[in-house]
A = this chain, B = another copy of it.
């Protein structure tokens, strides 16, 4: 397929986070920090603001950018310890406070100048990021279209301005943040997501959109939409960048009453994942693209088949009715009163520059009583219980991000409310269900309107969902999949770059073991295994069961003897430290076992074996299998083989040696 991404006003670098950071680090290393500042300055100078370019509501001056770069330099302790976003330009949705830049929430009359950063912006800045602008949105984050911004204009889809076709919407409410990343201007932007505002525009612009677990990223300093549900979200071109953002932003904020301490679910590569999909998936077509629903249905069906084939996933259709009932609570019910609580006073007292649809929605909240609010809360609580039970056996849920391709601006003008509602089909219920979500690119289909056949490029998006604190699990699953699915030809946003597998690689980073000999993180017990627990051996599954993470293959110090124990089943060796000089270095594999799971592992260790300590090659000690001496009765000294695997090979036993995935 030949893709015609629109050209942005200026050519963009389309750099990833690591590429921007590498540029910054190199400039500092070369003692030429001005070189990197120059790049940032050129970038910012290229960013026209609304109305000329509806993506940006505010862009800092050249001096302000320089000041940010100086601050980043000042807090740099050493080049080798440059923080994750050192010198990386980031865009921020204009309902999130950046000190010294006005916040408007896309409502000119609401404009104020914050004196302190939002919690998430604090994290960005303390990780070295440079805030290069505030981006447009559906006013007060009320909408999924990206057109409800009376003063700053509708944000066009990053793909739609080519070919003289009707302009398509960007999706919203985080419209500007999505399009800025899709054009490759910045590798990372902040959005917000209450009912889909961080996922719909990701889907419409071929991006990764991470809507984290509620409370994981601070919402302090965000103009509330529905405070009990709001999340700050991120847009990135690659999974690797989304993961970096997760690591930076997932910091407990004691000053945010809705912050939650992270309780990560264990991340592991599973042999077989179970994925729930809607039993009767709903698709629809925007009026301008009558075949849109059918095309999206075909894309989705193909994605399910590929997920099954490429990742060995079991795809299980599930009744989504309780999820849709929960979504109905959100927009037909009383949560809209949170919008009134947030901006009702402004709307009534001043109300300048309000989008008429947003005004109607916010005002509509007044019809509900406090008793109604509780009645809906009861209904939602009951649905949450039903949903938790129905989905408890799944690793993730896979949905299309939207049921239709991006409508045109004309579609929305003709029906500003109806299509908006349809766009939330697979996003509205997620925060009320206390799930996290990860929107990922799912390829493209091509419009077939009469006269423009094959020209309109329509991005298709997929979203993976899971219960709270499974954010990393979703990234890992998506990583496995995207590396396979896109086969090296995945386009990054609307740029001309394609993704290399490394850009969607997160497993190695999530699970990257600390260097051998480094202080043992208190979260794990580092254990050497010698025999039947080696990779591929009969008891290796006991390590998998407790989510052990492979660290290294190495050897013991040269003062151990290895014995094949008599009468053990499966055959097991015993490792003995000796002080008489007859010992040798014995091959071992080292694993980290979560400390909370170690007890379960211990329960399965039978006599004469035990867990003690072993001296490794470099002189450091780790926990290890040891053996009681009474078991030497009838045992065979196999020290000369240098390891259990070699001994077994000498007996003709085939022992697969693959290092496990995790």
Give me the interface of A with B, judged by CB distance under 8 Å: 227-228, 254, 257-259, 334, 337-338, 340-341, 344, 365-366, 368-375, 377-378, 381-382, 384-385, 389, 520, 522, 525, 576-579, 593-600, 602-603, 605-613, 621, 623, 626, 628-630, 633
Alpha-carbon distance A384/B215, docked complex (angstroms): 15
Stoichiometry, as copies per complex, reads 2
Alpha-carbon distance A596/B523, docked complex (angstroms): 11
Alpha-carbon distance A377/B621, docked complex (angstroms): 52
Partner of A369, one of B337, B597, B598, B621: B337
Q: Which B residues are in CB contact (< 8 Å) with A610? A: 610-613, 626
Partner of A337, one of B258, B373, B597: B373
Partner of A370, one of B370, B382, B603, B606: B370
Alpha-carbon distance A642/B374, docked complex (angstroms): 68
Q: Which B residues are in CB contact (< 8 Å) with A334? A: 370, 373
For A368, the closest partner residue in chain B by CB is B370
Q: Is the CB–CB distance between B374 and A228 below 8 Å?
A: yes
For A389, the closest partner residue in chain B by CB is B254
Q: Is the CB–CB distance between B607 and A374 below 8 Å?
A: no
Alpha-carbon distance A373/B606, docked complex (angstroms): 58
Q: Is the CB–CB distance between B606 and A595 below 8 Å?
A: no
Q: Is the CB–CB distance between A381 and B595 below 8 Å?
A: no
Q: Which B residues are in CB contact (< 8 Å) with A341? A: 371-372, 374-375, 378
Q: Which B residues are in CB contact (< 8 Å) with A370? A: 334, 337, 340, 365, 368-370, 372-373
Please indicate which of the listed interface residues A366, A596, A597 has the most CB atoms of chain B within 10 Å of its own CB.
A596
Distance in angstroms from A343 CB to nearest chain B CB is 10
Please indicate which of the listed interface residues A334, A341, A522 has the most CB atoms of chain B within 10 Å of its own CB.
A341
Q: Is the CB–CB distance between B227 and A374 below 8 Å?
A: yes
Given A338-B371, A370-B337, A608-B612, the answer on whether A594 and B599 have CB atoms closer than 8 Å is yes
Q: Which B residues are in CB contact (< 8 Å) with A384? A: 257
Given A340-B371, A577-B630, the answer on whether A621 and B607 have CB atoms closer than 8 Å is yes
Alpha-carbon distance A110/B412, docked complex (angstroms): 51
Alpha-carbon distance A372/B368, docked complex (angstroms): 10
Alpha-carbon distance A611/B610, docked complex (angstroms): 5
**What are 10 sample pairs from A and B whose C-beta atoms fall under 8 A apart?**
A254-B389, A365-B371, A577-B628, A579-B633, A594-B599, A596-B599, A607-B612, A607-B613, A609-B612, A612-B628
Q: Which B residues are in CB contact (< 8 Å) with A577? A: 607-608, 628, 630
Distance in angstroms from A348 CB to nearest chain B CB is 12
Alpha-carbon distance A395/B648, docked complex (angstroms): 56
Q: Which B residues are in CB contact (< 8 Å) with A609? A: 612
Alpha-carbon distance A259/B388, docked complex (angstroms): 13
Alpha-carbon distance A259/B334, docked complex (angstroms): 23
Distance in angstroms from A625 CB to nearest chain B CB is 9
Partner of A257, one of B365, B382, B594: B382
Distance in angstroms from A323 CB to nearest chain B CB is 16
- Starting from the known contacts A257-B378, A576-B628, 8 additional A-B residue pairs (CB-CB under 8 Å) come to A257-B384, A344-B371, A365-B370, A576-B630, A597-B599, A608-B613, A609-B612, A610-B626
Alpha-carbon distance A381/B255, docked complex (angstroms): 11
Distance in angstroms from A645 CB to nearest chain B CB is 23
Q: Is the CB–CB distance between B630 and A628 below 8 Å?
A: no
Partner of A578, one of B374, B576, B607, B630: B630
Alpha-carbon distance A365/B375, docked complex (angstroms): 13
Q: Which B residues are in CB contact (< 8 Å) with A371? A: 337-338, 340-341, 344, 365-366, 368
Closest 9 CB pairs of A and B: A610-B612, A598-B599, A337-B370, A595-B599, A368-B370, A373-B373, A257-B381, A607-B613, A370-B373
Given A370-B373, A374-B341, the answer on whether A520 and B603 have CB atoms closer than 8 Å is yes
Partner of A630, one of B337, B389, B579: B579
Distance in angstroms from A609 CB to nearest chain B CB is 7
Q: Is the CB–CB distance between A525 and B377 below 8 Å?
A: no
Partner of A595, one of B338, B377, B578, B600: B600
For A598, the closest partner residue in chain B by CB is B599
